[in-house]
Structure 1
Amino acid sequence: MICFALLAHKDEEALLQQVQNIRQYNPEQALIVLYNGGSDPNFGRSVCEQERVLYCTDSRPLQPGKTGRFFYDVMAWLEKKRIAYDYLVYTESDVMFIHHGFGRLLEQLMDGYDCLVEAIKVETDPQSRKWTTAAKMWNEWPRWQPFFRSAFFYGTFNPMQVYRQAIVKKMLARIHKPQLERLLETTNVISLGEMLYLTMAMQCGAKCQEYPSKYRKCFRFRPSISLQEIQQASSNPDIMFAHPIKDAAVRAWISGQYYAD
């Protein structure tokens, strides 16, 4: 069972398209949990009811760029609800699938591994400013170091991080919850999820795998994927998912393409 932890906060039409997209390309495998990061407490509830999506009741409004606690909240909520899964996937509102086979890919790439990420970075130099996100963590390192209990931390890209439930349980068991809550409430680190989860997993002894480059041809930070790019990618079966999808016309084309096949 693949559990998609989905962070969204606006545009219910786009949310519905994304949920249907996840289910279409992951038939009989997808468990979806919506985390509502917006200020409207009713956002997404009708979609959840219509599409049999679980609504994370520990959702809370999140500031732009400061969404790092979302994945932790979903991890803890799933554990509290005793919901079983094989893989937990970090999914944002601008990720969509364009080919089948993600489940088979996970079985292949996760064989002997506990987690799967876009790339693995190791941050050891507080003076380095090549990666803005890491630089902000180094600025707060005196506060975060006691939590991490190490002299360095790891980094990756937020979307499509994948963790086995067994390593998630170890991560949750290692966390000192009051300490983490204080940090989450006061931190100014942006894109915290790009460092927090991989670092915790590695500190719990995880073996981590990177997605081979051929699967990341349509996967980046910015700019948004264009219609021409997604149409070209549709002819390459290795490209199973794309990010970021922010254009309504691109979402509509992807949704219509499935039914045209």
Structure 2
Amino acid sequence: MTESSDYTEYTDYSAYSEYTDYPRKKICFAILVHNRSEVLIDLLDNIRCYCPNSSVVLYNGGDDPELCKGVGYPVCPTSRKLYYGVTAIYMLEVMEWLEDIDYSYDVLINLDSDVLFAREGFEQFILNEMKDKEYMGVGTKIPDDDFYCLVQLRQEFNQWIPLLGNEPYRESFNVGQVYSRKLVLRLLHDDQYELLKSNLRDTKSFGVDEIVFVTMVERLGYKLHAYREDVASAIRYRPHFPLDEMVSLVNFQLECSLIHPVFRELKDEARSFIREAMKRKIQLSPDYQERFMEEYLGEMPYLIRRSKYYGKKIEWLAASEDKGLLYWRENQSGRTKDILFGPYAFGSEKIEGLTALESRFGNLEAVCRTGNRLVHYWRDEHTGEWSPSEPFAEGVTGMPAFLESSYGNFEVVAPLKEGGLGHWWRNNDDPMLPWFGPIVFGTEQYDEVILVENNEKQLTAISCKEGKYQYYVRDDHNSWVWYGPYD
């Protein structure tokens, strides 16, 4: 029986009825969480968008016992602090816990909190591949003699030989390992289960989960399988994915959906791109909208998570079918059971494109396209009232992009009707808050644009044309010229 710890708010299995009573989902992701709840929430939104038919369970292996509190997903009751590279016990404890509460799934997949999905497709890949398999992993093979995790395990040979026997062992990358429910039950009821559990609890060796589980599976008589290379090529140990590689992957490596690793920083360039592209999909597709909301909220609903609420509440800004904007806020974590308050209606123009952010002033700020003009709205957090600016840009089309730069300025980029992109900015240190621009760059016709700061603190505009992305980079601190496009 799984025991509880101080690392979870759940100590009674009846508390899980909310999750076990849901319609059965074939895929369950087990996520080992270390720190930064805002990054965890970013990943959970990402999974909700691109793997909507999968369930998620969490294991809190970080310093903060309340790290996963309030995010709306079940947390393994034996969660406790685990140390870098020595985390294998987590997966076994998750397996045991899910059986204790009779959690329904067909396949269990090991993820870390520095993964993201770049698109849909992973669920169907898993279900197709696992029709006749019990185990699958990335790079499954006999390890090289100098494989670091094997070298580490050899330092504890005396405790592992009774369980694994003699070499050769097998290896499989930790992230993405897939276990069928049948295999999980076999592991949990094996005669050597207690030895496996005690060894994983006591080991000090780095990365034994990349050897022990896959070797145990093979020793139990199951055939091992590796991911197809076109899918596995985006799952690696290092380096972290930079923006240029992420854009290329989204454009050209269409079979790649699960990406590892991505820096655990909300403002990381690659993470920001994937998040903003996801938000744009939600805005433009009713199918994606249904994954986040139970009712119609308006046209082009834009998802907002604010640091003010530690990312645990969702707010929405949407365009009215007639004129103006609709603002909604949520009272909890963003699960579909939570209550939406709204709409608060404001504005008198027909809105044809919109984006929003939380500014350093503590306000919600929005940039909206009405006709061929851009207007800035902001919400006073004390009164709750929204106020518009005069139009600050014209000649625009499509969806604008909006961010607050590390310099403190508001930065806006939008496609131009005559082709190319226009860049406007507002000096937030000037009491008059003046807008400047446009600086025009590029010549092609674009449908939409995403704006991020790259990891060198340079503005980067990622434009979309017929489903393909190109990006431009501003030479900040030097010429301030926009260079590109790159793809």
TM-score with structure 2 length normalisation?
0.50
Aligned equivalents of 2:28, 2:136: Cα separation in 1: 14
User: What residue in structure 1 maps to residue 38 of structure 2?
Assistant: 13
Q: Does 1:232 align with 2:248?
A: yes
Amino acid at match of 1:245: V
SS for the counterpart of 2:154 is helix
Question: Please, which runs of 5 or more residues in structure 2 have no aligned partner?
Answer: 1-25, 282-487
| TM-superposed deviation, 1:252 | 2.2
Query: 1:253 is matched with which residue?
Result: 273
In the alignment of these two chains, the number of paired residues is 252
Match of 1:3 among 2, 21, 28: 28
Q: 1:245 to 1:175 in 2, by over 3 A?
A: farther
Between the two structures, name the one with larger relative contact order (CA 8 Å, sep ≥ 6): 1
Alignment of 1:174-193 (within 5 A): 174=190, 176-193=192-209
CA offset digits 1:47-90 (Å, max 9, x no partner): 1x2xxx11111111101111111111111111111112011000
Answer 1 or 2: which has greater helix percent.
Answer: 1
Equivalent residues of 1:167, 1:204 under 8 A apart: no
Q: 1:241 is aligned with what amino acid?
A: L
Distance 1:107 1:185, change over 3 A: closer
- Structure 2 distance, partners of 1:170, 1:183, is 18
Native 8 Å contact 1:110 1:209 kept in 2: no
| Equivalent of residue 84 in structure 1, options 85, 104, 122 | 104
- Which of 257, 260, 267 is the matching residue for 1:243? 260
Kindly report structure 1 stretches of 4+ aligned residues shifted beyond 3 Å.
Answer: 149-152, 175-178
Q: 1:73 to 1:110 in 2, by over 3 A?
A: same
- CA shift, 1:182, in A, is 3.4
- Verify: 1:198 aligned to 2:214, yes or no: yes
Q: Does 1:110 align with 2:91?
A: no
| Aligned-residue RMSD, C-alpha | 1.7
TM-score (norm 1): 0.91
| Deviation per residue, 1:85-130 (Å, 9 max, x gap) | 011000001111001111211122223111111122225xxxx742
Query: Within 1, Cα distance between the matches of 2:40 and 2:67?
Result: 10
C-alpha distance in 2 between matches for 1:198 and 1:81: 25
Q: Distance in 2 between matches of 1:209 and 1:181?
A: 24
User: What corresponds to 1:35 in structure 2?
Assistant: 59
| Structure 2 Cα separation of the partners of residues 231 and 16 of structure 1 | 23
**For structure 1, which runs of at least 5 residues remain unmatched after alignment?**
none
1:181 is displaced (CA, Å) by: 4.0
Corresponding residue for residue 225 of structure 2? 209
Cα 1:181–1:103 shift into 2, 3 Å: closer
- 1:162 paired residue among 175, 178, 202: 178
Q: How far has the Cα of 1:231 moved from its partner?
A: 1.2
Q: Rg larger in 1 or in 2? A: 2
User: In structure 2, do the counterparts of structure 1 residues 182 and 115 end up closer, same or farther at CA, with 3 Å as the change threshold?
Assistant: closer
- State yes or no: 1:136 paired with 2:161: no
Per-residue deviation at 1:186? 3.0
Matching residue of 1:98: 118
SS across alignment from 2:214: helix
State the 1:165 CA deviation.
Answer: 0.5
Match of 2:254, as an amino acid?
P
Query: Contact between 1:75 and 1:168, CA under 8 Å: does it hold in 2?
Result: yes
Alpha carbons of 1:211 and 1:177: their partners in 2 closer, same or farther (altered >3 Å)?
closer
Amino acid at match of 2:243: L
Residue 253 of structure 1: how far off its partner (Å): 1.5
Q: Whose strand fraction is larger, Structure 1's or Structure 2's?
A: 2
Distance 1:45 1:196 in 2: 31
